[in-house]
Structure 1
Amino acid sequence: MIRHLTRALCATTLVIAPIALTATPAHAVTTCRVNGVTVSSANVVGTAGPDYITCGPLAPGDQVSGLGGADYITIGGSLGGGAVVRGGTGGDYILVNGSVGPMAQVLGEADGDYIRVGTNLGAVNGGTGFDLCRVAGGNPPVNCEA
């Protein structure tokens, strides 16, 4: 009896384990263009100077950072939960052509920035400096003077 039960449990494990492994999706990699160069990564970073960064929608947990300089960052879609867009130092222009998901953030950081997003279910924060923020709906932005 015990031998038959052991065989049944082993057989069940062999059938269920592959199903569980295939049910877990891999983390999506964001594809962006940084100063004309294609970059595929979950963590896209600009340079210390001004950058032109364009990306498609960001998957949950992805990050885009402009670093220093007056950066132009465009996200052509929504930010998944936990995704972060950082302008860095310098007067940055950040545009999200979609919604900012729960737990996602758009951060202008230092200096005067212009930020425009669709529905904000996360956080839009201008940071220090005189920041202009436009949010189509949802949570209001913080640290924005206009």
Structure 2
Amino acid sequence: MIRHTLRTLCAATLVIAPVALTATPAHAVAPCRVNGIPVSGTNVVGTPGADSLTCGSLAAGDVVDGLGGADHIRIGGDVGGGATVRGGTGGDHLRVDGSVGPMGRVLGGDGGDYIVVGPNAGAVNGGAGADYCRVASGNPAAGCAF
């Protein structure tokens, strides 16, 4: 009886161990650069001045925030559901080459912003100011004069 139980536990350990070894680490924003410097983490933030922020795709919970100044933010992939791209204050240029997923947000903030995104299943909002927004398809942009 003890031998049978021991064999069962050993067999279970052999099945579970490979699963534990292949578990993925906590998510981090796809490779990003702020003013040419590589950064990592789920929260990528610019400076109070003008910045250039570039990232790959974003997943749920990821945030890219330009803060103040006339920022240029480019997301080379998708903005997944629950991810946020924020220009902040100032006349910002925000571009999402992929799609904006459900619950994904692209927000210009205060100032005259220029926003271009692919298909939009989330929210695109220019914020305060005379903003230009272009959405390829899906949900229309809000808070945009043009």
Is the CA contact 2:127–2:144 (under 8 Å) kept in the aligned structure 1? yes
Q: Work out the CA distance in 1 between the residues paired with 2:43 and 2:6.
A: 46
Residue ranges of structure 1 left out of the alignment (5+ in a row): none
In percent, how many aligned pairs have the same letter?
Answer: 57
TM-score, normalised to structure 2, is 0.86
Q: 2:143 aligns to what SS in structure 1?
A: coil
Structure 1 counterpart of 2:9: 10
1:48 is matched by which residue type in structure 2? P
Change (3 A) 1:109 1:60: same
Q: Work out the CA distance in 2 between the residues paired with 1:55 and 1:104.
A: 15
1:46 is matched by which residue type in structure 2? G
Aligned length in residues: 145
Question: C-alpha displacement at 1:111, in angstroms?
Answer: 1.8
TM-score, normalised to structure 1, is 0.86
Question: Do residues 61 (structure 1) and 61 (structure 2) align?
Answer: yes
Q: Tell which deviates more after alignment, 130-139 or 25-34.
A: 25-34
Is the CA contact 1:31–1:41 (under 8 Å) kept in the aligned structure 2? no
Matches within 5 A, 1:1-146: 1=1, 3=2, 6-7=5-6, 9-22=8-21, 24-26=23-25, 27-146=27-146
Q: 1:30 aligns to what SS in structure 2?
A: coil
Question: C-alpha displacement at 1:130, in angstroms?
Answer: 1.8
Question: C-alpha displacement at 1:117, in angstroms?
Answer: 0.2
Q: 2:24 aligns to what SS in structure 1?
A: coil
Question: C-alpha displacement at 1:72, in angstroms?
Answer: 0.9
Deviations 1:92-129 (A, max 9, x none): 11011111122211111122211100001111111122
Residue ranges of structure 2 left out of the alignment (5+ in a row): none
Q: Work out the CA distance in 2 between the residues paired with 1:4 and 1:19.
A: 24
Q: Tell which deviates more after alignment, 67-76 or 8-17.
A: 8-17
Question: C-alpha displacement at 1:16, in angstroms?
Answer: 3.6
Is the CA contact 2:28–2:40 (under 8 Å) kept in the aligned structure 1? no
Is the CA contact 2:29–2:57 (under 8 Å) kept in the aligned structure 1? no
1:72 is matched by which residue type in structure 2? H
